[in-house]
Chains A and B, each alone.
Chain A
């Protein structure tokens, strides 16, 4: 947990709106991005995003002082997705995985080759099994967190997390080879 996070958690525990505003500005984009890539659908991502922030606001007074806010938000998003949306989306996601790419922001400085590479990566990522995709998404959206924190998000031991990450990378490489 960063030291600034500790201050923000203290602010949230005291129900200070300024603390929530700062947390929101800091993590909203990354959380939304995680939700989009996890679900593969912008409409579901909207719901996951809203749920995570409302849950944070509701539970703010009961946060533990050592809470890592990004890991907490990602955990809430992932758990909500698994409990509410996973079954319904399993069949639809493969057909609609390209919808995410149309939603992706374009970078004006990117070459066509780089854009093609990003599109290939996104497609390969969306084609992975969910347990592989989510471990890679954590490395994309929360790479600065220690691996122990990332493992805790998935409910794994650090050793099991490393093993799953290694397998996920191999699976992604295989997907890229196929495409």
Chain B
């Protein structure tokens, strides 16, 4: 049986492939951007601004519930369910 080579051929090939693919990624980043048509740009801008004008900023309480109270409640429920599941394992039974 031939002795095993210590030269990491596979690694070298993999590195070469990686370099080639990095070049490819560079080329992809240089691809042109497709801008929307002037009419579409204007139409969507007006529609979005109109839609925003219909919205109202959230009150402090709404923000509190959305960003703090509800996530905290969901986390607490998850922990409770985990504890309940853990209680049924042989280790904690």
A interface with B by C-beta (< 8 Å): 12-15, 17, 20-21, 24, 28-30, 32-33, 36-37, 45-46, 49-50, 53-54, 56-58, 60-62, 64-65, 100, 103-105, 107, 117-118, 121-122, 125, 136, 139-141, 143, 166, 169-170, 172-173, 176
Contact in complex: A53, B44 (CB < 8 Å): yes
Question: Quick one: closest B residue to A51, CB to CB?
Answer: B44
Asked if A122 and B34 make an inter-chain contact with CB atoms under 8 angstroms apart, the answer reads no
- B residues with a Cβ closer than 8 A to A are 17, 20-21, 24-25, 27-29, 31-36, 40-41, 43-45, 47-53, 55-58, 66-67
Given contacts A104-B34, A139-B29, contact A17 B57 (CB under 8 A): no
Count CB-based A-B contacts (< 8 Å): 114
Q: A24-B45, A28-B41, A60-B55 are in contact. Are A173 and B24 (CB under 8 A)?
A: yes
Q: Binding site of B, secondary structure by majority: helix, strand, loop or mixed? A: helix
By beta carbon, the residue of chain A nearest B29 is A143
Q: What's the least CB distance linking A165 to chain B, in Å?
A: 9
* Cβ A57 vs Cβ B57 within 8 A: no
**Which residue on B lies nearest to A23, using beta carbons?**
B48
- Selected contact of A54 from candidates B32, B48, B53, CB within 8 Å: B48
List, in ascending order, chain B residues with CB within 8 A of A14's CB.
57
